[in-house]
Amino acid sequence: MSSRVRTVAAVGAGLGMVTLAACGSGASGSDAGSASGGGSKTVTLISHDSWAVSKEVLADFRERSGYTVKVLEDGDAGTAVNKAILTKDNPQGDVFFGVDNTLLSRALDNGLFQPYEAKGADTVEPAFRADATGNRVTPVDTGDICVNYDKAYFAERDLDPPRTFDDLVKPQYKDLLVTENASTSSPGLGFLLGTAAKYGDDGWQGYWQKLTDNGVKVVDSWETAYNQEFSGSAGGRAAGGDRPLVVSYASSPPVEVVYADPQPKDAPTGVADGTCFRQIEYAGLLSNAENAEGGKALLDFLIGKEFQQDMPLNMFVYPVVEGAQVPEVFSRYGPRIADPETMDAAKIADHRDDWVKAWTSLVLK
């Protein structure tokens, strides 16, 4: 949704540590301490590289809660989850945001989160609730991992862009697709799971052999794929990207409109809607969080309507709470996918690691 989603990196989301100290008429430093019931006035959020929120919305959180939010961005979601697991006994923060349904069981099996039912959890749409997790995570956003295409490339060649998984292995699309490493990237893993859902346990490896024979390129992260290799993104064009097909998100085209100057009448990129896999992203209170009370307040905030309605034009993902409104420009250029591939969480947990190993042997040989 890097994903989520992940397109916010295309407009300069910073890397490394970002301190988001909201300003305005909120509590002062000393008042903030008492507002939190004592203890630290800072709550630390660990996230993948595409966290973003409006300053005004974050200022409202500080004013109401007394907490300043510090964000540690830690790479692609897959890398960030693995790092969080390795440091779970002495975590760098209090809340982790960005674990998705492709990686959720890994985080839960490793005891990454402690239970907390966020205030407002009952407003999350039933389709997105993680009921079997014992309230160890809170759904925050949703989106679809899909192949995006560079409209200009295909128009200039009078070539129809691909629409389905089957299309991607056709000769006319040879050497055009770039995707992310399924072992390090959540969109890369989501794309792998989409093919497993489409072709089944016995068919997905044969499909990937065809995709490999057709010249698919694999890179480590969404940032590299979308902002360097993909010819259709602003970043990719600046970097000389020459791949007109990329695994990204159904919500990627709006960012190419919203942040362009001047704004085009139409998005320069499109979505192959027959290549999509549904993603849900979660946040959770880390098991050994130093500031658990601040972490709980932050989780409450993440599913509040103010933050949920702020997400679409910041992280380019869809909200998960009932009644949250989506800006027209976002829904126009990033419409919801009607029939994405999906997979039961239990099946992902049972097969993910074996599939990734098999994929690595097949594709990265």
The three state secondary structure string of 67-135 is: CEEEEEECCCHHHHHHHHHHCCCCCCCCEEEEEECCCHHHHHHCCCEECCCCCCHHHECHHHCCHHHCC
pLDDT per position as a tens digit, 240-291: 999 999 999 999 999 999 989 898 989 999 999 999 999 999 999 999 999 9
Cis peptide bond upstream of 262, omega within 30: yes
Is the pLDDT score of 24 beyond 80?
no
Q: What is the pLDDT of residue 39?
A: 65
Q: Which of 163, 141, 154 is nearest to 271 (CA)?
A: 163
CA dist list (Å): 103 to 52, 92, 272, 281, 303: 21, 20, 24, 10, 21
Burial 294-318 (b: 16+ CB within 10 A, else e): bbbbbbbbbbbeebbbbbbbbbbbb
Average pLDDT, the chain: 88
CA dist list (Å): 91 to 43, 97, 289: 12, 13, 7
**Range in 14-23, 129-138, 171-180 with the lowest mean pLDDT:** 14-23
* Distance between start and end Cα atoms, the chain: 29
pLDDT per position as a tens digit, 39-88: 679 999 999 888 899 999 999 999 999 999 999 988 777 888 999 999 99
Residue 268 in tokens: 């320069």
CA separation for the pair 202, 152 (Å, rounded): 37
Place of tokens 């103010």: 306
- By the 10 Å C-beta count (0-12 exposed, 13-18 middle, 19+ buried), 194 is classed as buried
Please give the model's pTM, rounded to 2 decimal places. 0.83
Residue 66 in tokens: 């007394």
Place of tokens 């500080």: 62
Are 95 and 283 contacting, i.e. CB atoms less than 8 angstroms apart?
yes
Calculate mean pLDDT across residues 301-310: 97
Is the pLDDT score of 301 beyond 90?
yes
Residue 348 in tokens: 């992902």
Q: Which of 167, 187, 126, 197 is nearest to 343 (CA)?
A: 197
pLDDT per position as a tens digit, 97-147: 999 998 899 999 999 999 999 999 999 999 898 877 899 999 999 999 999
Residue 214 in tokens: 């057709």
Residue 124 in tokens: 């999350």
Domains identified in the chain and CATH numbers: 6-143+279-328 (3.40.190.10), 144-278+337-363 (3.40.190.10)
